Structure 1
Amino acid sequence: MIKKLVVIGLLGTKLDHVSRRKDRWQQWRPTVAACQQPDLLVDRLELLFDRKSTSLADRVAADIESVSPETAVKLHSLVMEDPWDFEDVYATLYSFARDYPFDTDREEYLIHITTGSHVSQICLFLLTESRHFPGCLLQTSPSGRQRGHSDPAGMHRIIDLDLSRYDQLAKRFQQEHRESQSFLKAGIETRDDDFNALIQRIEQVTLATTAPILLTGPTGAGKTQLAKRIFQLKRNRGLVAGDLVEVNCATIRGDQAMSTLFGHKKGAFTGATSDRPGLLKAADGGVLFLDEIGELGLDEQAMLLRAIEEKRFLSVGSDDATASDFQLIAGTNRDLLAEVAAGTFREDLLTRINLWTFTLPGLADRRDDIDPNLDFELARFAESAGRKVSMNRESRKRFLAFAADPSTPWRGNFRDLNAAVTRMATLASGGRIGIDQVDEEIARLRRNWGIGHDGAGAREVADSHAVLAGVLQPDQIDAIDHFDRVQLAEVIRVCRRSKSLSAAGRSLFQVSRLAKQRPNDADRLRKYLQKFGLNWDAVSAARGAR
C-alpha cells in the first residue's frame, strides 16, 4: 500500500506573505513551494497559524489549491501569545501533536521547519526528534541558481532524525560514548563485563540529567574518584559552569556540620565573627559531592532535603533563604535502608537521592581487572615519583596469581592495591620490581590481613566433606580419593563465589592460562566437573554457601 504524504508546518507571516503585485506568482513562498516540488506529491497540508493571521492563511490555502489541486489543505488556528516565548510555543505545539490522530500505517509525515520564528523551528525539531511528530523534517529554500522571482518552487531537503541511518554520525556518537566511558574509568581498559556495563549506564545518566546520584560500595572501591570524574565529564561537555565542592560528612558534627554545609550569619553563635556562605552555596551552578552522607545528623538531613527539592535553604542564624542550584552526588559505604529502619537516616531523603543509585564492587569482585589496574598504579607512581618502574615477567605473574586467588581478601580494595604497588615500586632496585619485592609485599599483605600463607583465616573455610555433601551422594564422595576431594571442594567454593563458569575458570586457571594463546577456561572447568558427574548449575546453585 502506498502511503499518503502529509506535510505539517507553520504559516510564515513574512516569507509566506502574499504580494498584491501581478508578479506574485514568481515569488518564492515556502509553504506554497512545499506543495510545488516535482518529486514530492503532497496529499495533505496541515497548516498551523496564529489566529491573528487567519486572512493570510486563507489566501495561502487558495494559492496552494491553484498550483497543487491534488493537495488538501487543513487549517489549524493556534493561540500563541508570544511566538518568541519558548515555554508557550512548545506547550502549544506539544498539545497539537498530542491530540493529532497520526496514522503511521497509512500516512507518511514531513514536518516543515522553514517558516515560523526560530523558537517555533526549535520546538518543531525537538518534538520531531522525540517522535511526538512521527516523521522527518522538511526544509525548503530558494533555488541556489536563481534567487530572484524566476523559480517559485525553489528546492527542498528531507532530514531524517534517526541518526542510526547516518553511519558516520552514528560512529562519531559511538566514539564519543567510548571516550566518555574510558574517561570515567581513568583510561583503564577494564575487563569485568558487569563493571563495564555499570560505567556505561553511569555515563548515560551523567550526560542526561542533573538529578542526584548515589554511589554506594565498600571503602576503597573508588567512589570519590568516580565522583570527581563525573563532575569533570559534565564540565568538559559544558553541562556545568560551577565548581566541584567535596566534603566528607564523617569529619563534621553538630553545629559545625550546619555551619560548614549551610553557612552562618555573623553572631549566630559564639565564635561566628563573620558571615560564612557554606559549601552548598559554594556549589551553586556546579556539583556537591557529599561523601559518607550516612554520617550526617537528622537535622542536617532535613535541611539538605529542602535544599535539594527547593534549591533554597536557611543559613544558621538567618531568616532569609539562600538560593543555590547544584547537582548532588552522594557516597556511602553504609546500608542506608538499614539506617532508615534504625531511625538514623531520613526515609524521605533516601527516596529523593535514590533515583540513580550505582553500587561499585570491591576489588575482590573484580579480579579480572587487577591486571590493567596494576599498570595504572605503576603509571601513577611514575607520575608522582618522577621515575618509571616496571615489573619483570616472573614478578608480575607471581603477584597476579596471588592477587587473583579467591582466598586473597583485598579488604581495603583499590587502596590496598595502590599501597602494595607504591611499596614495591619504592623498593625496586634499578627501576624494576623483582621476585624479592613481590614476595615481601605478599607476606606483608597477609600479615596486615591476619591470614596465613595459604590464605586460611581470611574467612572460615568449610569442611571439604560438607561442601561435597551439598552436591554429591555419600557413596559418590566415598568413591573419591581424599586428594581429589580437597581439590574438588575448593573448585566448588570458587564456583560459588564466581558470577559465571568463565569467571570461575579464569580464577582457577590463572597461571596456566597465560601460556595459552586461546585459553578456554570455561571448557576446561566444565570437563573437570563432568569427571565427577557435576555441572555448573549444580555447583553454583547455593551461590552464597561456603
Structure 2
Amino acid sequence: MQTMTIIEDERLLGSELKRRFEREGWQVTLSETLADARHLIIDLGLTPTVVLSDMNLPDGNGLDFLEEVREAGVLGEWIFLSGYGTRRDIERAAELGALDFLAKPIDYHKLDLTIAAGARGARARQRIADSTETEARKFAPEAFIGTSPAAARVRAMLGQLAQVPISSVLLSGETGTGKGLAAKILHYSGPRSDGPFVDVNCAAFPKDLLESQLFGHESGAFTGARSRHRGLLEQADGGTLFLDEIGEMDLGLQSKLLKALEDQRFRRVGGEREIEVDVQLVAASNRDLRDLAAQERFRSDLYHRISVFEIPLPSLRERKEDIEPLVHALIRDFNAQAGKQVRTVPEAVWGALHAYHWPGNVRELRNVIERCVLLSSGAELPAEWLGLAQAAAPDPAATQAAGDWIRLPLDGSMALDEMDRFIIRTALERHDYNVMATARALGTTRETLRYRIQKYGLSAAEHRR
C-alpha cells in the first residue's frame, strides 16, 4: 500500500485531505506540527511515498524541514501547499527536489494529477532501487569466480578499490578474461552504485561517431544531427563510464577525453556551454597501453591518468584450477535460463576442458558450456557439443610430435598481438622457460625474444634463462 504523510495545521483541511486520500486507497498519517512530522519521519523512520505539506506551520517552515529530511537521506515526493508563497520560496522548493508548489485554495483536480505523478515517480525510483540492489548482489567481488591465487588476487583488488572513491581504474588482460564483469563489480560494489553504469566499446565506432557518442552534440552540429544528443559522459554523471578497448581510440579524441577527465567538464560537439559531470572512469584494453604509449600510439599522459590503479586480469590458462568452479556456475546459470537439468560432467569432458588452451578465455568457456547445456537432453553435460577439436594437437603419427605444434583460432576471438603473446608463452612453457631454447624453436634471436617477453608483460619467471 502506498503511504502519504500530510503536514497541515488547519485541522479541517487536514482532516478533509486525509479522508479524501484514504478513500482512494492511501495509508495516510496526519501531523499538525513539524515536531510531530519530525518524530514520525526522522525518529521513527517512516518513509512516506508522498508528503503533502503546508509551507508555514506554527513551529517552523516546511522548506527548512524538507532540507532537514533530505540531509537525513529520506526520499519521497514532496508537494507544498501555501496560501502565499514568494518566487524565492518556489525556487528553493525546486532546488530541494520538491515535486510541486500548489497554491491555496486547493485546485483538487490539479492536486490529484500531481499526487498521481508523485506516485508514478516513487514507483519508478523504487524499481531503480530494487534493480540496483539486485545488481549489487549479482556483481559483488565474489562474482569473479575461482579458487586459484590469481582469482583471489583479483577479487581482493576489486573489493579494496570498490570501497574507496577513485577517479579511474585500468583493467588489462586478454580478450574474454572478464574485464566487463570487473567493471560492473567496481561500480555496483562501490559508492556510486546508485548512479548509472554506462559502457561503450571504443573499437565499435569510427572516430567522429565515437566523439559524438562520448560528448554528445547539439542540433545542427553536423550533417544528420537533427536534435540535441546527450553523450555518454553526461549520461554517466554521478556513476561510472566504462570504456572498453580504449587502446583503439583516436589520439585526438584521447586528448579531448583527458581534458574532460581532468576538468570534469566538457562541451558537446557544436556546443558552447560547458557541462559539469562527476564520473568515475573504468577503462579496459587487451593491448599493452604502456607499450603503445612508448610507440606514441597512445597518449602517455592519458595512460598515466587512467592507470593510477591497474588490475591485470589473468588468462584462463594461468588459472586452470578455476575451470571446474566456473563450469559449475555456468551450468547453474544456463539451467535456470533454459529450464535444463544438467547435473553431472563426465570425466572425459573434464579432461577435454582442462587440456584445451582457451585462447578466448572465460568468454569462450561460457560459449562452450552454453551450447552444451542448451543442446543437452538429460542430466549429463554432452561431450559431442564441446566443439574443441580445432584446438587439439595434430595426430603424433602424422607429425613429428604434438609438442611441435601450436594451433590458433581464426574466428576473430584473438587479436594478432594476442596470438603472438600466446605463441611465445606456449613455447616458453614447452621449453621450461629456457629463453635460448625457446628462441631456437621460434626461429628468432635471444634478444628479440627478450624484447617480446617484456613487451607482452609476461611474468618474471619467464626471464630466468
Q: Which AA in structure 1 matches 2:179?
A: K
Listed one character per residue, the Cα deviations across residues 453-487 of structure 1 (whole Å, up to 9, x for unaligned) are 67656529xxxxxxxxxxxxxxxxxxxxxxxxxxx
Q: Does 1:203 align with 2:159?
A: yes
Distance 1:347 1:187 in 2: 30
Among candidates 361, 373, 382, match of residue 425 of structure 1: 373
In the alignment, which residue of structure 2 is the partner of 1:524?
none
Q: 1:285 to 1:337 in 2, by over 3 A?
A: same
Distance, in Å, in 1 between the alignment partners of 2:309 and 2:228 is 35
Aligned amino acid, residue 459 of structure 1: I
What are the Cα deviations for residues 171-196 of structure 1, in whole angstroms up to 9, with x where unaligned? xxxxxxxx9999223273x2111320
Q: How does 1:257-336 map to 2 (within 5 A)?
A: 257-336=210-289
SS at match of 1:390: coil
Q: Does 2:398 correspond to 1:445?
A: no
Q: C-alpha separation between the residues in 1 aligned to 2:393 and 2:371?
A: 20
Kindly state the Cα deviation for residue 452 of structure 1 after the two structures are TM-superposed: 2.5
Aligned to 1:186: 143
Tell me the secondary structure at the aligned position of residue 328 of structure 1: strand
Task: State the shift of 1:322 in Å.
Answer: 1.2
Q: Distance in 2 between matches of 1:185 and 1:383?
A: 20
Flag the 1:451–1:185 CA change in 2: closer, same or farther, 3 A.
Answer: farther
- Structure number with bigger Rg: 1
SS of 1:247's equivalent?
strand
The verdict on how the C-alpha distance between 1:458 and 1:290 changes in structure 2, with shifts beyond 3 A counting, is farther
Q: Which runs of 5+ in 1 are unaligned?
A: 1-178, 461-489, 498-539
Cα deviations across residues 387-421 of structure 1 (Å, max 9, x unaligned)? 231225xx1x222223323xx21101112211221
2:331 to 378, 390, 396: 378
The secondary structure found in structure 1 opposite 2:189 is helix
Q: Does 1:401 align with 2:354?
A: no
Q: Decide whether the 8 Å contact of 2:267 with 2:273 is kept in 1.
A: yes
| Distance in 2 of aligned mates of 1:258 and 1:305 | 13
Provide the rounded CA distance (Å) in 2 between the counterparts of 1:320 and 1:459: 56
Deviations 1:53-104 (A, max 9, x none): xxxxxxxxxxxxxxxxxxxxxxxxxxxxxxxxxxxxxxxxxxxxxxxxxxxx
Hey, what's the Cα distance between the residues in 1 that align with 2:388 and 2:151? 25
Query: Partners in 1 of 2:201 and 2:432 — Cα distance?
Result: 36
Q: Identity of counterpart residues, as a percentage? A: 35
Distance in 2 between the 1:187 and 1:333 partners?
18
Query: Are 1:367 and 2:320 matched, yes or no?
Result: yes
**Structure 1 residues 100-179: aligned runs within 5 Å:** none
Change (3 A) 1:181 1:259: closer
1:321 deviates by: 1.2
Residue 259 and residue 543 in structure 1: after superposition, are their counterparts in 2 closer, same or farther (change >3 A)? closer
* RMSD, matched Cα: 2.9
State the aligned residue count.
Answer: 281
Give the structure-2-normalised TM-score. Answer: 0.56
Match of 2:389, as an amino acid? R
Instruction: Give the aligned partner of residue 212 of structure 1.
Output: 168
Specify whether residues 309 and 458 from structure 1 end up closer, same or farther in structure 2 by C-alpha distance, changes over 3 A only. Answer: farther
Task: Find 1:414's aligned residue among 362, 376, 379.
Answer: 362
For residues 196-238 of structure 1, the C-alpha deviation after alignment (integer angstroms, 9 at most, x for no partner) is: 022202211121122201001000001011211221112xxx5
**Matched residue SS, 1:230:** helix
1:459 equivalent in structure 2: 406
Q: Give the AA of the match of 1:425.
A: V
CA, structure 1 residues 182+282, in 2 after alignment: closer, same or farther (shift >3 Å)? closer
Q: What amino acid does structure 2 have at the position aligned with 1:218?
A: E
**SS in structure 2 at match of 1:418:** helix
Structure 1 CA distance, aligned partners of 2:429 and 2:185? 36
Q: Which residue of 1 aligns with 2:38?
A: none
SS at structure 2 position matched to 1:185? helix
Residues 1:231 and 2:173 aligned together: no
In structure 2, C-alpha distance between the alignment counterparts of 1:187 and 1:355, rounded to whole Å: 22
The runs of 5 or more residues in structure 2 that have no matched partner are 1-135, 397-401, 408-425, 434-458
- For the residue of structure 2 that corresponds to 1:195, the secondary structure is helix
